[in-house]
A and B are shown apart, each in its own frame.
Chain A
Amino acid sequence: MSNAASPSLTQRHRDTMLRILIPIAVVVALILLWQILITATGVPQYILPGPAAVGASLVKDWGTLAPALWVTTQITMAALALALVGGVGIAIFLIQSKWIETAFYPIAVILQVTPIVAIAPLILIYAPTTQVALLICAFLVAFFPILSNMVQGLKSVDHNLLNLFDLYGASRWQTLIYLKLPASLPYFMTGLRIGGGLSLIAAVVAEFAAGSAGAGSGLAFRLLEAQYRLNIPRLFAALILLSLLGVVIFGITSFIAWLSLHRWHESSLKREN
């Protein structure tokens, strides 16, 4: 064993392995426990299926679930992309002057605080297709955290750095590109991570509200459908796919944040003391 004062490479390696293995072990243990309880108590499958039945359903219904997963993924990603462009764009617009912010920020707040489920029926009426309606719903939910974080970030630039840019005669555009945008990158990444999770939630909630059906429907519809048919294993399978999608989105956005910040920002650094 190496001593605690100077952890050797192998020990650090082992720490990393444990950090990955422990959560996996816990999940596996819980799944086993679930299966054991189901088998021991004999609960019928239409009330609570065991993990084996859910796994079987995942394989059997893959033909139905996979397209739905793809639809939900597309809506989520498209909504997030729109929210990024919209959130950042509107944030840049808002910080141009105090008056613009005073005039338009309340509208963004109103859009945010009105529950999306309540607006969804209206959007369904106005949108040309259900997919577009879902997209609008998911966008409305995801864009606000990105907007508010960006506004905060763009306004929190070091005043002396702004002075410096003025001193060297920087144009508005140069100040934005070389100073304000990079300085607000940590805020943007926070917005991205929150927005990523929210756009998935919104895509699901909006689909519940919209009640779409048929070939172009997403996982939320398949979930409801499975419930109506008391096909509980399939409901669980859809649920697992949604969770996995959420985890993947979280992983990707966290990785992007790490990639862009790890060289300079405090949030991505280890404390060296």
Chain B
Amino acid sequence: MRNVSKSFSSGTLALSDMSLTVEGGEFVSLLGPSGCGKSTALRIISGLGDVTTGSIDWPSSRINSKGLPDGDISFVFQEPTLMPWQTVFGNVYLPLRLKGVSKADASDAITAALETVGLKDFAKAYPRELSGGMKMRVSIARALVTKPKLLLMDEPFAALDEITRQKLNDDVLRLWRETGITVIFVTHSVFESAYLSNRIVVMKARPGRVHADFPLQTSLERGPLYRTSEEYRAACEKVSASLLEAIGGPEAAAMEMH
């Protein structure tokens, strides 16, 4: 699934005639006020939600019984969504276990996925022993273990503190660069979207639709240096302005921010 392209439209209130085509290797942020349908859009892309009208097109050849590209999509929820009765290893093993891969065969892939998120030494730990950020890392490792082509993230770091969030942002960027995976990242944070993505889709609420869709190219590599750069500041302002438009004026924006 090199050239991921999806277009869908839905007649429901949540999303109105929304079309979106995503190219392989892109890092797309879906940004918008709450209630703009960005999570709904993500769920439809993942196949968890049905469309009322319209369709999703997959370039992938392997379509499973549920009409989804088999094993090519992973989803990271806002909550870590781990099974408390399983160890970190068991949680990451889950996607492979459901595909009938034996524990011995899956072991290497699991260790690799845990290594990517820096949790190799915590394979035997139970979720309750981990911090919020670490649980999120396990959740990301679980998403990566199937080597997906498309990673969907639904406000994954919204519940984390600023420092942990920045660190995980850097980790996600590194993963994206190393694996060449396509990411669709739902967020309500201007800064997060401006920092992470090379394409931003700003959405408008009631009904949910695309307000603006623009690329975000940077000369600097995204990292701590970029975070303090003028370029980043300009990007934030551009994204912010677009979001304000989508919400409909500075007054409404002020309300949304609180």
In the complex, B68 has a CB within 8 A of chain A: yes
User: Known: A166-B66, A263-B126, A269-B128. Contact between A179 and B81, CB under 8 A?
Assistant: no
Residue among A160, A164, A166 with most chain B CB within 10 A:
A164
Q: Is the CB of B81 within 8 A of A264?
A: no
Contact of A169 with B126 in the complex, beta carbons under 8 Å: no
- Looking at B73, B77, B98, B99, the one whose CB has the most chain A CB atoms below 10 A away is B98
Closest to B81 in A: A160
CB contacts (< 8 Å) of B68 on chain A: these are 167, 169
Contact (Cβ within 8 A) B128 A264: yes
Q: Is the CB of A182 within 8 A of B83?
A: yes
Report Cα–Cα, A264/B85, bound state, in Å: 5
Inside 8 A of B61's CB, which chain A residues have their CB? none
What chain A residues lie within 8 Å of B94 (beta carbons)?
Answer: 164, 168, 178
Please determine whether A264 and B126 come into contact, CB atoms closer than 8 angstroms. yes
B81, A158: Cβ atoms under 8 Å? yes
CA distance A232 to B216 in the complex (A): 91
Tell whether B248 is near chain A: CB-to-CB under 8 Å.
no
Cβ proximity bits A145-168 to B, threshold 8 Å, 1 near / 0 not: 000000000000010110111111
**A265 is an interface residue with CB less than 8 A from chain B:** yes
Q: CB < 8 Å: which of B65, B75, B84, B146 contacts A264?
A: B84
Distance to closest chain B CB from A265 (angstroms): 7
Interface residues of A in 223-273 (CB under 8 A from B): 263-266, 269
Interface residue? A205 (CB, 8 A): no
Q: For window 143-160 of chain B, which residues contact chain A by CB distance below 8 Å?
A: 146
Q: Is residue A201 within 8 Å, beta carbon to beta carbon, of the partner chain?
A: no
Residues of A within 8 A of B13 (CB): none
Q: Which residue of A lies closest to B97 (CB)?
A: A178
Q: A160-B77, A264-B126, A264-B128 are contacts. A167–B83 as well, Cβ < 8 Å? A: no
Given the contacts A158-B81, A179-B83, A182-B85, A163 and B98 also touching, CB distance less than 8 Å: no
Q: Which of A164-215 contact B (CB under 8 A)?
A: 164-170, 174, 178-179, 182-183, 185
User: Hey, which chain B residues are within 8 Å of A266, CB to CB?
Assistant: 128
Specify the chain A residue showing the minimal Cβ separation from B64.
A169
Q: In the bound complex, how far is the Cα of B247 from the Cα of A24, in angstroms?
A: 70
Which chain B residue shows the least CB distance to A266?
B128
Is B223 engaged at the interface, CB distance under 8 Å to the other chain? no
Distance in Å: Cβ of A168 to nearest Cβ of chain B: 5
Q: Closest residue of chain B to A175, judged by CB?
A: B98
In the complex, residue of chain B having the shortest beta-carbon distance to the beta carbon of A165: B98
* Residues of the B chain whose Cβ atoms lie less than 8 Å from the Cβ of A166: 48, 66
Whether, in the assembled complex, B197 has its beta carbon less than 8 Å from a beta carbon of chain A, the answer is no
Chain A hits for B98, CB < 8 A: 165, 168-170, 174, 178
Bound-state CA distance A166–B65 (Å) is 11
A167 touches B97 (CB 8 A): no
In the complex, chain A residues whose CB is within 8 Å of the CB of B84: 264-265
Judged by a CB distance under 8 angstroms, whether B79 is at the interface is yes
CA A158 to CA B68, docked complex, whole Å: 22
CB of B256 closer than 8 Å to a CB of A: no
The residue on A at minimum CB distance from B96 is: A168
Docked Cα-Cα span, A247 to B83, in Å, equals: 33
Return chain A residues, CB-CB under 8 Å to B83: 161, 179, 182-183
Residues in A lying within 8 Å of B, measured CB to CB: 158, 160-161, 163-170, 174, 178-179, 182-183, 185, 263-266, 269
The 10 closest A-B pairs by CB, nearest first: A160-B81, A168-B98, A182-B85, A170-B98, A264-B84, A160-B77, A168-B95, A264-B85, A264-B126, A163-B48
Query: 19 other contacts beyond A164-B75, A178-B94, A183-B85, with CB at 8 A cut-off?
Result: A158-B81, A161-B81, A161-B83, A163-B75, A163-B77, A165-B98, A166-B48, A166-B66, A167-B47, A167-B48, A167-B73, A167-B74, A168-B98, A168-B99, A170-B98, A179-B83, A264-B84, A264-B127, A265-B85
Could you pull out 20 A-B pairs where Cβ atoms are within 8 angstroms?
A158-B81, A163-B77, A166-B66, A167-B46, A167-B47, A167-B68, A168-B98, A168-B99, A169-B66, A169-B68, A169-B70, A169-B98, A170-B98, A263-B126, A264-B84, A264-B85, A264-B128, A265-B84, A265-B85, A266-B128
